[in-house]
Amino acid sequence: MNTPLKIGIAGLGTVGAGVIKILQTNEAQISARSGRDIIVTVVSARDRNKDRGVNLGGLKWFDDAAKLADQDDVDIVLELIGGSEGVAKSLTENALSNGKHVVTANKALIAHHGTALAMIAEQKDVCLAFEAAVAGGIPIIKALRDGLAANKIKRLYGIMNGTCNYILTNMAESGRSFEDVLDEAQKLCYAETDPSFDVDGVDTAHKLAILASIAFGTEVDFESVYTEGIRKVSPIDIQLAERLGYGIKLLGVAKQTQNGIEQRVHPCMVPINSPINHVSGVFNGVVVDGDFVDSTIYEGRGAGAGPTASAVIADIIDIARGLRIPAFGVPAGSLAKPQTVAMSEHLGPYYVRLMVVDAPGVFAEVAGCLRDHNVSMESVLQQSRDLGEPVPVVMTVHETKESDMLNTLNDIANIEAVVEYPTMIRIQTFQN
């Protein structure tokens, strides 16, 4: 057996403790598959006295995680602290600069600084690995970077946040409001006390930026990801979507177009019989379209101690085997500057819900707004109520430019009989 590979873990939260548990539970199997023993030598966390459910006896302990970057008995630093700046960033930079491999589950760090960190890693001939940063236990980064390496990726899309998927699934099944289901998710620890990162789409946007970089061979470009969360999705829209043959999911979509790369995160209406619509609860699902493989689908648990720690250890095993694959599939210096398409240029069909006073002539005014901006209606649903009462009117429109759709909604909102700003949800048909 070769010399043991020595691990230093910065952060002993859910994932850090999960890594130690798996390494201890499956020690013989992991050593056999790695070709060498993998041992944890150093750990760093705030609270030494917290019970983490794993044996930490005999491990060197630092209160200051930064010290892991220069320890002689550490070959790989696991950065499991989180956040795009501060200790996580400085520890990663210093560890790489000191010739140590880094494995991280930190999607924010990679989305904001991945290109620069990959350059440091390559200069020092060490690995920067982050399989656990996207979709937990689903090996989507390896699939894109390795398994699909022979393909030109045309598009990828998916559910990349289990909190949002849990909320939308339960809203659809129970008819309850966003706020009610979010409160339940927080009590079950599926959502953070401050859920903004998840429900406002930022977490998904981080992950999408990373996948788009690997898929299209471009620098990571988080700033160009259009991001919209699920706070405005209502039970009535979920019910009406079902009548129209759709479910509602928060998707991250990256697509290569003639004008550049689209990167967008927002609620989507998806065909009710599509595979992505059947990804429910806290599960994640990603679909990748390649020029020779067509569509490939990946589904599994996107978070939690077991799935995320499993992905971390998969990266450790690759390093133990001596694999030196560029972090984003090609050398960091070869990553192209991305040419991106603004969301205003997006073309697609739309769902629109109006709340209008049911009075003569209202629909003619709405139709005039559509006509003025070259928006073509596909279908209409209207529920009848007593004359003078607000009533939901639902339209779907054919493929339309986003800027034209928004201008249309602004005009419709100014109609006197329209009692609230129109609700718009983009429809994702998955046609090429």
Please write the tens of the pLDDT for every residue from 368-378: 999 999 999 99
On whether the CB atoms of residues 191 and 198 are closer than 8 A, the answer is yes
* 28 vs 387: CA distance, rounded Å: 74
CATH, range 2-133: 3.40.50.720
Please write the tens of the pLDDT for every residue from 98-145: 999 999 999 999 999 999 999 999 999 999 999 999 998 899 999 999
Pair of tokens at residue 331: 């050398």
pLDDT at position 46: 82
- Across the range 311-319, mean pLDDT stands at 96
Angle 324-328-330 (CA atoms, 0-180°, nearest 5)? Answer: 70
Per-domain residue ranges of the chain: 2-133, 140-301, 347-427
Residue 56: pLDDT band with limits 50, 70, 90? confident
* 119 vs 100: CA distance, rounded Å: 14
Q: What DSSP line would sit under 302-364, residue for residue?
A: -SSHHHHHHHHHHHHHHHHTT----TTSS-GGGPBPP-B--GGG-EEEEEEEEEEE--TTHHH
**Per-residue pLDDT for 388 more than 80?**
no
Pair of tokens at residue 112: 């904001």
**Per-residue pLDDT for 384 more than 80?**
no
Diameter over CA atoms, the chain = 84
Confirm whether 21 is a catalytic residue. no
**Per-residue pLDDT for 1 more than 80?**
no
pLDDT at position 360: 75
pLDDT at position 401: 96
pLDDT at position 381: 84
Specify the amino acid at residue 362. Answer: V
Residue 49: pLDDT band with limits 50, 70, 90? confident
Decide if 2-133 and 347-427 have a common fold. Answer: no
- Across the range 229-233, mean pLDDT stands at 96
Percent of the chain having pLDDT more than 70? 98
How high is the mean pLDDT of the chain? 93
Instruction: Assign domain 140-301 to its CATH architecture.
Output: 2-Layer Sandwich (3.30)
**pTM listed for this prediction:** 0.94
Specify the amino acid at residue 193. Answer: T
CB atoms within 10 A of CB 421: 12
- Across the range 348-355, mean pLDDT stands at 95
Catalytic residue chosen out of the listed positions 207, 249, 337, 401: 207
Specify the amino acid at residue 176. Answer: R
Please write the tens of the pLDDT for every residue from 291-310: 999 999 999 998 888 999 99
Alpha-carbon dihedral sign for residues 76, 78, 84, 85: negative
pLDDT at position 385: 61
- Across the range 227-236, mean pLDDT stands at 96
* 23 vs 28: CA distance, rounded Å: 9
| Superfamily in which the 347-427 domain is placed by CATH | ACT domain (3.30.70.260)
Residue with more model confidence, 227 or 57: 227
